[in-house]
Chains A and B, each alone.
Chain A
Amino acid sequence: MQLQQMYQEIILDHYKNPHGRGLRDPFDAESFQVNPTCGDEVTLRVKLDGEIVSDVSYDGQGCSISQASTSVLTDLVVGRPVGEAFKKMDAFVELMQSRGQIEPDEDVLEDGIAFAGVSKYPARVKCALLGWMAFKDAVARSQGAA
């Protein structure tokens, strides 16, 4: 059934038990992003320790896809250098824009590969990218401020 292809167990697990959720101090920069078509929103904070992403915390209202992808994001980027985190982001964005045409690399995206099915639904791609756009923006802000 198509629905299970989209809502992989991994996604539903992250949705029900999100990782890293809640806004925390200290942080260097915060970004608020909203999906204007549905009103879903996320507020995401980033703490950098030199080049290392030492914490990502977030809060928001949104569908299972947007909430789960932000939860996966924290797993993928926290503790990693910014450059490496951005490489993962690029891989995730590429996967989401693939309309199901590329095979994701589990070594790079870990639980993020579960979103391959979502990429077949163009209307939901923005949901999956909401947290990532906030992360990109928050990092840019914290580096701009430094």
Chain B
Amino acid sequence: MTTTAAPLDVTALRADFPILSRTVRDGKRLVYLDSGATSQRPTQVLDAERAFLERHNAAVHRGAHQLAEEATDEYEGARQRIADFVGADFGELVFTKNATEGFNLVAYAMGNAATSGPEAARFVVGPGDEIVVTEMEHHANLVPWQQLAARTGATLKWFKLTPDGRLDLSDVDSVITPRTKVVAFTHQSNVTGVINPVDVLVAAARKVGALTVLDACQSVPHSPVNFRKLGVDFASFSGHKMLGPSGIGVLYGRRELLEALPPFITGGSMIELVKMEGSTFAPPPARFEAGSPMTSQAVGLGAAVDYLSVVGIERINAHEHDLTVAALEGLSSVKGVRLIGPSDAVNRGGAVPFEIEGVHPHDAGQVLDSLGIAVRVGHHCAWPLHRCLNAQSSVRATFYLYNTLDEVDALVDGVREAQKFFGVA
């Protein structure tokens, strides 16, 4: 679908999101600036889930009755549309419970490689090997790698951050070395919105034969992403951050790799042949989808991808950029506000974290909440990043297609209100 560069008609779009018209905290208009944590769902997604359940619900890949057939078609049809959306082939997408499960799937499957067949040898990690992450990671793409290192005796290394919160790539070759087996990094920081140079890291990893694992949770919902063009080996993202349901995530893996990767969770649906003495496994993606999978969630995510495609992901991206610029400008005009991370919107998505001098983020969030403004407060599952940027925690506003410049103004006014309430302005 081609779209013009015309700006979004946000008023019309907002009508698709029933939740945005509700009020909170004694009749306040809801200003939802927490889509980085979870996004809201349009009627089209809700309707798709309901229609599936009312018309086609059955267990997929089991049974020969008509509903089972239809349910399987809906489930696999969603996989195809999602694959098209992110530049992948049908067989390269695995449905998971969430993005976190996707990272764990890769990490645990690698851990299983040592006791699998010779085709899995390239995934074996052990003492002397290195696993590389960054200080910017969400805990979901950090802790599984710490654990893999702990289980296998490999060494965990990481890229540090510059003072403004970008990756310090001044010495890539000393971090990514011939010992490196995996480089796991985020496409876009969930805290600062910083977009990382995937090409630089992929090139460095390839040079030494290391696998790349991309956290695409914050990029796929907000920008055009093509995994094949990016050249990453694995990537994981979640449905609920891209207008889709919770309880579903997606793992991308290059076909050749998924075909050689041993399973993580085993059981029904993922087998080829089962005997009492042992079993063989189905080809991907089925090999990585043990048990009855989520169905209406997959269908809902397919509908979310359709919705994003119709609106146009480039236009969404441009709209969020405008909101980010306005938020950076507005917040930096408030005395006592410290922006965390870059102060500009270059190579950056729609996330703006900040601190207010003399007002703890939790307290600031409470004042904003009393005004109907929903933001995230805390360390946003990125504790090391906060330590690097000398913040114990932060207030974070994140934007999506349905947010408006008025809402950015409301945020800035709310910050002033918080200062007044706590007597620091």
A residues at B contact (CB < 8 Å) = 1-3, 6-7, 12, 37-40, 61-65, 121, 124, 127
Given contacts A7-B421, A39-B378, A39-B379, contact A63 B362 (CB under 8 A): yes
Tell me if A40 and B370 are in contact (CB < 8 A).
Answer: no
Tell me if A39 and B392 are in contact (CB < 8 A).
Answer: yes
- Which 7 A-B residue pairs are closest in the complex by CB-CB distance? A63-B362, A63-B360, A38-B378, A3-B370, A39-B379, A39-B393, A64-B363
For B381, the closest partner residue in chain A by CB is A37
Q: Does B377 sit at the interface, judged by CB under 8 A? A: yes
**What is the CA–CA distance of A85 and B422 in the complex, to the nearest angstrom?**
31
Question: Which of A6, A7, A39, A121 neighbours the largest number of chain B CB atoms within 10 Å of its CB?
Answer: A39
**What is the CA–CA distance of A6 and B422 in the complex, to the nearest angstrom?**
13
In the complex, which residues of chain B have a beta carbon less than 8 angstroms from the beta carbon of A61?
392
In the complex, which residues of chain A have a beta carbon less than 8 angstroms from the beta carbon of B363?
7, 63-65
In the assembled complex, the CB of B79 is this many whole angstroms from the nearest CB of chain A, namely 34
For A4, the closest partner residue in chain B by CB is B421
Given contacts A39-B392, A61-B392, contact A2 B362 (CB under 8 A): no
**What is the CA–CA distance of A65 and B364 in the complex, to the nearest angstrom?**
12
Can you add 7 more A-B contacts, CB < 8 Å, to A38-B362, A39-B383? A2-B25, A6-B366, A7-B366, A38-B377, A39-B379, A39-B392, A40-B393
Q: Does B367 sit at the interface, judged by CB under 8 A? A: yes
One of B25, B367, B386 near A39 (C-beta < 8 A): B386
Q: Does B406 sit at the interface, judged by CB under 8 A? A: no
**What is the CA–CA distance of A124 and B362 in the complex, to the nearest angstrom?**
9
In the complex, which residues of chain B have a beta carbon less than 8 angstroms from the beta carbon of A124?
362, 366
Question: Which of B25, B362, B363, B386 neighbours the largest number of chain A CB atoms within 10 Å of its CB?
Answer: B362
In the assembled complex, the CB of A120 is this many whole angstroms from the nearest CB of chain B, namely 11
Interface range on chain B: under 10, 10 to 19, 20 to 34, or 35 or more? Answer: 10 to 19
Q: Does B54 sit at the interface, judged by CB under 8 A? A: no
Question: Which of B361, B367, B378 neighbours the largest number of chain A CB atoms within 10 Å of its CB?
Answer: B378
**What is the CA–CA distance of A61 and B370 in the complex, to the nearest angstrom?**
23
Tell me if B378 and A121 are in contact (CB < 8 A).
Answer: no
Given contacts A39-B386, A62-B360, A63-B360, contact A3 B378 (CB under 8 A): no
Given contacts A7-B421, A38-B379, contact A1 B362 (CB under 8 A): no
Tell me if A64 and B383 are in contact (CB < 8 A).
Answer: no
Tell me if B362 and A65 are in contact (CB < 8 A).
Answer: yes
Tell me if B421 and A3 are in contact (CB < 8 A).
Answer: yes
Cross-chain pairs A/B with CB under 8 angstroms, 17 sampled: A2-B25, A2-B370, A3-B367, A3-B370, A7-B421, A38-B361, A38-B362, A39-B378, A39-B392, A40-B393, A62-B362, A63-B360, A63-B361, A64-B360, A64-B363, A64-B422, A124-B366
In the assembled complex, the CB of B277 is this many whole angstroms from the nearest CB of chain A, namely 45
Q: Does B26 sit at the interface, judged by CB under 8 A? A: yes
For A16, the closest partner residue in chain B by CB is B423
- Give per-residue flags for B344-382: 1 if the beta carbon is below 8 A from chain A beta carbons, else 0: 000000000000000011110011001000000111000
In the assembled complex, the CB of B118 is this many whole angstroms from the nearest CB of chain A, namely 42
Given contacts A7-B421, A62-B360, A63-B360, contact A38 B393 (CB under 8 A): yes
In the assembled complex, the CB of A27 is this many whole angstroms from the nearest CB of chain B, namely 24
In the complex, which residues of chain A have a beta carbon less than 8 angstroms from the beta carbon of B377?
38
**What is the CA–CA distance of A22 and B145 in the complex, to the nearest angstrom?**
38
One of B361, B366, B379, B383 near A3 (C-beta < 8 A): B366
In the complex, which residues of chain A have a beta carbon less than 8 angstroms from the beta carbon of B421?
3, 7
In the complex, which residues of chain B have a beta carbon less than 8 angstroms from the beta carbon of A6?
366
Tell me if B378 and A37 are in contact (CB < 8 A).
Answer: yes
In the complex, which residues of chain A have a beta carbon less than 8 angstroms from the beta carbon of B361?
38, 63
In the complex, which residues of chain A have a beta carbon less than 8 angstroms from the beta carbon of B370?
1-3
For B371, the closest partner residue in chain A by CB is A3
**What is the CA–CA distance of A97 and B361 in the complex, to the nearest angstrom?**
23
**What is the CA–CA distance of A59 and B361 in the complex, to the nearest angstrom?**
18
**What is the CA–CA distance of A95 and B13 in the complex, to the nearest angstrom?**
44
**What is the CA–CA distance of A40 and B362 in the complex, to the nearest angstrom?**
10
In the assembled complex, the CB of B326 is this many whole angstroms from the nearest CB of chain A, namely 26
**What is the CA–CA distance of A65 and B180 in the complex, to the nearest angstrom?**
46
**What is the CA–CA distance of A77 and B361 in the complex, to the nearest angstrom?**
29
In the assembled complex, the CB of B100 is this many whole angstroms from the nearest CB of chain A, namely 16
**What is the CA–CA distance of A143 and B54 in the complex, to the nearest angstrom?**
62
In the complex, which residues of chain A have a beta carbon less than 8 angstroms from the beta carbon of B379?
38-39
For B25, the closest partner residue in chain A by CB is A2
Question: Which of A3, A6, A64, A121 neighbours the largest number of chain B CB atoms within 10 Å of its CB?
Answer: A3
In the complex, which residues of chain B have a beta carbon less than 8 angstroms from the beta carbon of A127?
362
**What is the CA–CA distance of A65 and B378 in the complex, to the nearest angstrom?**
14
**What is the CA–CA distance of A1 and B371 in the complex, to the nearest angstrom?**
10
In the complex, which residues of chain B have a beta carbon less than 8 angstroms from the beta carbon of A63?
360-363
**What is the CA–CA distance of A121 and B363 in the complex, to the nearest angstrom?**
12
In the complex, which residues of chain B have a beta carbon less than 8 angstroms from the beta carbon of A40?
362, 392-393
For A67, the closest partner residue in chain B by CB is B360
**What is the CA–CA distance of A39 and B384 in the complex, to the nearest angstrom?**
11
In the assembled complex, the CB of A38 is this many whole angstroms from the nearest CB of chain B, namely 4
**What is the CA–CA distance of A90 and B76 in the complex, to the nearest angstrom?**
54
